[in-house]
Amino acid sequence: MRALAIVAAVAVSSLATAGRATAAPPAAAIAASASRGAVPLTVTLDSGATAAHWDLGDGATAEGRAVTHTYTRPGLFRVVARVTSAAGETAEAETTIAALRVTLRRPAVATFGARTVLRGRVEPALVGAPAALLRNGAPVGRGTTRRDGTFRFRVRALGPARFSASVAGVTGEDRPAAVRARVTARVSRLALLGGRASLVARVRPVAAGVIVVRVWRDGRLVARRVGRGRLALRLPTGRAGPLRARIRLAGRGGWLGAVRTVRADVVAPALSWGARGPSVRVLERRLAELRYAMPGIDGAFGLETVQALLAFQKVNGLPWTGRADARTWRALLRGHAPRPRYTGPGTHVEVSKGRQYLLVVRDGRVELATHVSTGATGNTPLGHWRVYRKVTGWDWVLWYPLYFLRGFAIHGYPSVPSYPASHGCVRVPMWLAPSIWSRLGYGASVYVYW
C-alpha cells in the first residue's frame, strides 16, 4: 500500500558568484494535523517558515505559514509547500494526504440466525489494505481490500445492531441493520372431521417480542392465543372446511415484526361417488398437486375424481376402492408425485400391468398419472416398444389410439374399470386420451412392465 506517512523533501536553488560567500538556503518542512481520514477531511498544514505558497493537490492553492483545508472528495492528494528566502532562494517540501471514503452495503432486512453478506468499498481503491467490520463499534471480522478497493464479510444475523467498516484505520459511517425474528409454524395440513389437529408457532429469539395467533373459518375468528417463544393451539375440527391461521410477531427492542400465514383443511373422513363440498375440493386439489390427471377442480366427486383417486391408490399400494377413507387421506397428506422407473430426455410412457396405472414421463419427471385397464387375459405384451402409428379421433372403437406393437395401442375407451378388462390394449379415460396422444410423437418409448 502506498505509504501515507509525511514525506518531506527539500530542493535548494542558489546562485553563487566567484569570490562571494553563499547564503544559507531556506528550510522547508510540512507538519500535518492528519495524514489520512474520512471524507470530508479537514487538515491543518504548517510549513514551519514565515510564509509559504501551498499547492494542496486538489486544485486549490493557499498562502501563509499555516493553512487549513477541507478535502471534500476522496483521493490521494500530493501537497507541496514552497518557501522563498529574502535572497530569492527557494525550497520545497511535500506530503501526501489520503482522504478516504469507506462505504458499507448491507441487505435491507436479515433474518435471525441466517448468514448474510456485507459488501463495502474504499475510495480511492487501496489494494491489500487491512479492512475490519465493526458491530456496535467492536470488530467482528477482518480481511483485506481487493484490486478495485472492495471487500466483503459474512456474518450471522444475531440481532439489531449498527455496522460500519474500517479500512487502513479510517472508519466509515455506521448504519443500523434491521433483523427480523424467525417465526415458524407447524400445522396439520389435513385434519379429519372431529379429529385432532394442532398448530405450533415459535419465534426465535424469545426476546424479539410477543406472538399472537388467530384462526379464522369462513371469515370468522374461531381461535386466538397470545404468548412468547412457543405457542401450541388445538384447531377446531367440528366443521369441514378450510382454516386460515395468522401468526403475527409484534417486534420490540429494535426487532422487526413478522407475519406468517398457514392453512389447514378439515375434511370428511369418508368420501365417495356423488359427494360434494369443500372436502371434495381439497381431495381434488391434492390429487392434482401430486400430478394425478384431473380435468378440473369443481368440488363434485364424479367419474374423473374416482379415476384419479384409483390411480393414486394403485401407485401407493392401497386398496383399489375409488373412495377416500381415513387411510387414503393419511397417504395423501404424506404422499409425493409418482417416481418413474425409466429416466432420460424426451417424453415416454410407462404402463404397470401389475398395478394397472400409466405414467407420462418427460425429461425424467412424471407429468401425469392415470389408472388404466390392460388385457383381461394378461396378453398385453411386456417390454420396450415405440409408437409407430397415431390416429386422430376414432379408429374403429379406439379413441385417439397410439399403436406400439401390431394392433396393441394406448387409447381412450368409455369403460375403464380398475381391473384388466381389455382385449389386450391399454385403456385410458376418454377425456384424457387426446392429451396423452398429443404428448407422444412417433418413435416415443412405451415401457410395459409388471
In the predicted model, is pLDDT for residue 64 greater than 60?
yes
Q: Give the pLDDT confidence score for residue 175 in this predicted structure.
A: 85
Q: Give the pLDDT confidence score for residue 381 in this predicted structure.
A: 97
In the predicted model, is pLDDT for residue 1 greater than 80?
no
Pick the closest to residue 362 from 376, 374, 344, 377 (CA basis).
344
CATH class of 31-100: mainly beta
The span from the CA of 167 to the CA of 321, in Å, is 72
Q: Give the pLDDT confidence score for residue 98 in this predicted structure.
A: 96
- By CB atoms closer than 10 A (0-12, 13-18, 19+), residue 343 is exposed
* Stretch 195-203: mean pLDDT: 93
| 95: its cell numbers | 506530503
Question: Domain coordinates of the chain in residue numbers?
Answer: 31-100, 106-179, 181-267, 278-334, 347-449
Q: Give the pLDDT confidence score for residue 222 in this predicted structure.
A: 95
Q: Give the pLDDT confidence score for residue 24 in this predicted structure.
A: 66
With a pLDDT cut of 90, the percent of the chain lying above it is: 85
The span from the CA of 279 to the CA of 42, in Å, is 74
What topology is assigned to 278-334 in CATH? Muramoyl-pentapeptide Carboxypeptidase; domain 1 (1.10.101)
* C-alpha distance across the termini of the chain, in Å: 73
In the predicted model, is pLDDT for residue 13 greater than 80?
no
pLDDT category at 252 given cuts 50, 70, 90 is confident
347-449: CATH superfamily: L,D-transpeptidase catalytic domain-like (2.40.440.10)
| 439: its cell numbers | 404428448
Cα angle value 244/228/175 (rounded, 5°): 100
The span from the CA of 361 to the CA of 383, in Å, is 17
Per-residue model confidence as pLDDT tens digits over 122-161: 999 999 999 999 999 999 999 999 999 999 999 999 999 9
Average pLDDT for the chain: 92
In the predicted model, is pLDDT for residue 19 greater than 80?
no
Using DSSP, state whether 186 is helix, strand or coil.
strand
pLDDT category at 201 given cuts 50, 70, 90 is very high
With a pLDDT cut of 70, the percent of the chain lying above it is: 94
Q: Give the pLDDT confidence score for residue 23 in this predicted structure.
A: 58
Q: Give the pLDDT confidence score for residue 87 in this predicted structure.
A: 82
Is the separation of the CB atoms in 346 and 362 below 8 Å?
Answer: yes
Query: 106-179: which CATH architecture?
Result: Sandwich (2.60)
Q: Give the pLDDT confidence score for residue 430 in this predicted structure.
A: 97
pLDDT category at 216 given cuts 50, 70, 90 is very high
* Stretch 80-96: mean pLDDT: 91
Per-residue model confidence as pLDDT tens digits over 91-130: 999 999 999 999 999 888 889 999 999 999 999 999 999 9
* Sequence-separated (6 or more) residues with CB below 8 Å from residue 289: none
pLDDT category at 328 given cuts 50, 70, 90 is very high
* pTM of the predicted structure, to 2 decimals: 0.67
In the predicted model, is pLDDT for residue 17 greater than 80?
no
Q: Give the pLDDT confidence score for residue 26 in this predicted structure.
A: 79
**Share in percent of the chain as helix, strand, coil (round to 5):** 10, 45, 40
Pick the closest to residue 118 from 97, 128, 132 (CA basis).
132
Per-residue model confidence as pLDDT tens digits over 368-385: 999 999 999 999 999 999
Pick the closest to residue 243 from 211, 219, 260 (CA basis).
219
* Stretch 33-37: mean pLDDT: 95
Pick the closest to residue 411 from 450, 395, 122, 55 (CA basis).
395
At residue 324, φ and ψ (nearest 5 deg) are -95, 110
Is 181-267 in CATH node 2.60.40.2470? yes
Per-residue model confidence as pLDDT tens digits over 342-353: 999 999 999 999
- The β-bridge partners of 247 are 213, 260
Is the separation of the CB atoms in 228 and 255 below 8 Å?
Answer: no
- Are domains 106-179 and 347-449 of this chain identical in fold? no
Using DSSP, state whether 390 is helix, strand or coil.
strand
Q: Give the pLDDT confidence score for residue 251 in this predicted structure.
A: 84
* Stretch 419-425: mean pLDDT: 97
Q: Give the pLDDT confidence score for residue 391 in this predicted structure.
A: 98
